[in-house]
Amino acid sequence: MIFVTVGSDIPFDRLIKAVDRWASEKRRRDVFAQIGRGGWEPRFIDFAAMLEPPAFNERLAASQVIVGHAGMGTILSALQNSKPILVMPRRGHLGETRNDHQMATARQLLELGKVHVAFDEEQLCERLDDLGTLAPKDRISAFAGPGLVEALRDFIHDRG
């Protein structure tokens, strides 16, 4: 199953429209999307506006790949569960977010080898055609490592 998520804050109709169109053209019936409270609903994929955390986690666990916006919650969830993730960043100039911080996030995490990225709808459909080649990235812990905890403790202690 392909699990598409736009996060919990704002809709991302451009992403959902592109995946819905791709699923229709490819006759894919194994796509489920959490679409947010947008003004547009998919016609060819199953969806819910929002998922409670247990349902979200079930969909995540059952998926072969995650497709989503370049939000850190979505990315961290995929990496903590060792799921391949394909992100398409929201764009500020399109009114999808207040600025292009998701572009910066996507570029940085792509450079680090943590995510697969499509920067527009055309690239998204190309990458969706090659889903079988998207390998999971290294699993990350849900907890900070001892070095970070110690550095933060030292920083706080030095400030006190």
pLDDT band at 135 (very low <50, low <70, confident <90, very high): confident
Q: What are the pLDDT digits (tens) for 23-45?
A: 999 999 999 999 998 779 999 99
pTM of the model: 0.88
pLDDT of residue 41: 94
Mean pLDDT of the chain: 91
- Could you tell me if 85 and 137 are in contact, meaning their C-beta atoms sit under 8 angstroms apart? yes
The least confident of 27-36, 44-53, 144-153 is 144-153
pLDDT of residue 160: 64
Q: CB 89: neighbour CB atoms within 10 A?
A: 24
* Domain count for the chain: 1
CA angle, 69 then 75 then 81, to 5°: 135
pLDDT band at 103 (very low <50, low <70, confident <90, very high): very high
Compute the distance between CA of residue 37 and CA of residue 25 in angstroms, rounded to an integer: 25
Domain housing 57: 2-159
**Helix/strand/coil (H, E, C) string of the chain?**
CEEEECCCCCCCHHHHHHHHHHHHHHCCCCEEEECCCCCCCCCCCEEECCCCHHHHHHHHHHCCEEEECCCHHHHHHHHHCCCCEEECCCCHHHCCCCCCHHHHHHHHHHHCCCCEECCCHHHHHHHHHCHHHCCCCCCCCCCCCHHHHHHHHHHHHHHC
φ/ψ of residue 123, rounded to 5: -65, -35
Q: What are the pLDDT digits (tens) for 67-99?
A: 999 999 999 999 999 999 999 999 989 988 889
In CATH, what number is assigned to the domain containing residue 131?
3.40.50.2000
pLDDT of residue 46: 97
Question: Does residue 135 or residue 84 have the better pLDDT?
Answer: 84
Length of the chain: 160
